Amino acid sequence: MSNSPSWYTRNRSRSFPLRGTATAVTDQGQLLPDSIIADLALRFTGETNEVAFIRSLVVSKQSVSIVINVGSTSIASATMPVADVNNWAPKQLTALVAGVQGYVVFGESTLQGNWTFSSAAQSGLTWKVAAPQPAADAPARFKRSGFGDMVGPTVILEGTGDIDISSEQLYLDGATREAIVISLSDDAENNPLSDYVGSCGKRPEANTCGSPEPIIALSGVQPDCCGRIFLEFRGCVDLHKLEGTCGVVIDCNTQAGDLCPAKELTLPTEDGILPEDSGGEETTTEAPEDEDCLEVEEPTDNTQEF
């Protein structure tokens, strides 16, 4: 499993994990939201022409659940409390028939609903996440994270160019295990370490580029293998690209009055009572007892006293 927030965020904004030909339209004519499933992986015993599809997806105030079918047979399901959804916690699929393994990562719990499908044409899962495989005819030797023993036909891994692939005994998780090792070749006529070294300080390690250091993470979130970090904005955010540079302006079309509404302006009464006076009691202001105080002029006919 990827355990990558950027990967999960990207999947929540597209029709993953449905096939490109799937309509995503439910039996009731509703469109399945893209954001509910962030990751999914499934292996089941079956023929190569069989397609797994989402039979139902239910989001309530308490939980999120999914049922996966092949034809008319439900083969796997999973249920997770809503409180665990925002933690990107993978949930192991419960096998409803033999030969089923996998997990699901739910990405959204605020869109409550009940989406049901009757065929793979509506919600068929892509081969990348839900591939059928024949029954095992030999003991399994390797495993994939999130799965048990891998089954199926023999797979040959072959390195090309500067890549070497070998089977070695490595000490992993407190035990000696047989592992697939992918590494750069050690060719006397070629030095991959110099061919693939970074341009910063001619060293492949991080934090060797001097000042200013490049950004390697945002709030602990690191980019994917292509160097990308996907940001999701919600609400009134508008993005405007800056010409001639790699920057954007984040704008929110909200006025100050929308954030801090102005109070209604009020004036004192003729008796000098202010709206802020507690209890509505009248207050009077007496002239200071000072010999140097200016003499108060008598009001004239066209002067109003406050």
- 3-state secondary structure (DSSP) of residue 247: coil
Same domain, 21 and 90: yes
Same domain, 44 and 125: yes
Residue 158 in domain: no
Kindly report, residue by residue over 209-264, the tens digit of the pLDDT.
Answer: 667 777 778 878 888 777 788 887 777 788 888 888 778 888 887 777 777 766 66
Question: What distance in Å separates the CA atoms of residue 168 and residue 162, rounded to the nearest whole number?
Answer: 19
Kindly report, residue by residue over 169-217, the tens digit of the pLDDT.
Answer: 888 778 888 888 888 877 656 777 677 776 666 665 666 666 777 777 8
What predicted TM-score, i.e. pTM, was given to this entire model? 0.51
Give the end of a domain, one of 113, 133, 153. Answer: 133
Same domain, 93 and 181: no
Structural domain harbouring 10? 5-133
Same domain, 169 and 50: no
Residue 208 in domain: no
In this prediction, residue 106 carries a pLDDT of 92
Domain count, the chain: 2
Asked if 143 and 149 touch (Cβ cutoff 8 Å), the reply is yes
Residue 225 in domain: no
Residue 117 in domain: yes
Question: What distance in Å separates the CA atoms of residue 129 and residue 20, rounded to the nearest whole number?
Answer: 13
Characterize 43-73 residue by residue with b for buried, 16 or more Cβ atoms within 10 angstroms of its Cβ, and e for exposed.
Answer: bbbbeeeebbbbbbbbbeeebbbbbbbbeee
Residue 244 in domain: no
| Helix, strand, coil tally for the chain in percent (to 5) | 10, 30, 60
In this prediction, residue 303 carries a pLDDT of 40
Give the end of a domain, one of 118, 133, 148. Answer: 133
Residue 103 in domain: yes
